[in-house]
Structure 1
Amino acid sequence: MQARSVPKKPTNLTLDQGLLAEARSFGVNLSQAAEAGLRSAVREAKAAAWLRENADALETSNRWVAGHGLPLEKYRPF
């Protein structure tokens, strides 16, 4: 499977000198590593934002289930 080509933008970063030297000594591709780390950070930020934005609905649902049980409980095989 071939990865889709996406536009790239040159970016300046400020990094820990020791970490940078160590990464280079192991042949780490800095662009790929930075992109992977940034992708992970964005995924975590989106998940945290979703939880904040939906906290009221989740609390309401949890309260309802605590008081009434699961709607289809009698059909659960476990």
Structure 2
Amino acid sequence: MTRSTVRDAKAPFRRPTNISLDSAMIEDARELGINISRACEEGLAKQISEERGRRWKEENREATAEWNAHIAEHGLPLERFRQF
């Protein structure tokens, strides 16, 4: 039986990357047993998510304002069915 060379499609591909970090932070992380690559990855993922959210809000600001104005003038479309 041969081992499959096909990667799991759900598994992320990690590429080695060089970054510059504060040397004191690196020392502290190592002393505390923190996986620096994972910590950087988690921080970057958070930043990406926040920036995407910020951009979405900016791109949709006008539509959101129009919808809010419509609701203020006409009420919620299905308000009569609300049970609270």
TM-score, scaled to structure 2: 0.82
Corresponding residue of 1:23: 29
Corresponding residue of 1:6: 12
Larger Rg: 2
Aligned-pair identity in percent equals 39
Matches of 1:37 and 1:74 in 2, distance apart?
44
Structure 1 gaps of 5+ residues are: none
**Larger helix share, 1 or 2:** 1
Q: How does 1:1-78 map to 2 (within 5 A)?
A: 4-78=10-84
Runs of 4+ in 1 over 3 A off after TM superposition: none
1:9-65 CA-partner distances (Å, limit 9, x unpaired): 111111122221111111100111111111111011111111111111000000000
Number of aligned residue pairs: 75
TM-score, scaled to structure 1: 0.88
Matches of 1:31 and 1:54 in 2, distance apart?
34
Matches of 2:74 and 2:29 in 1, distance apart?
55
Cα RMSD (Å) of the superposition? Answer: 1.0
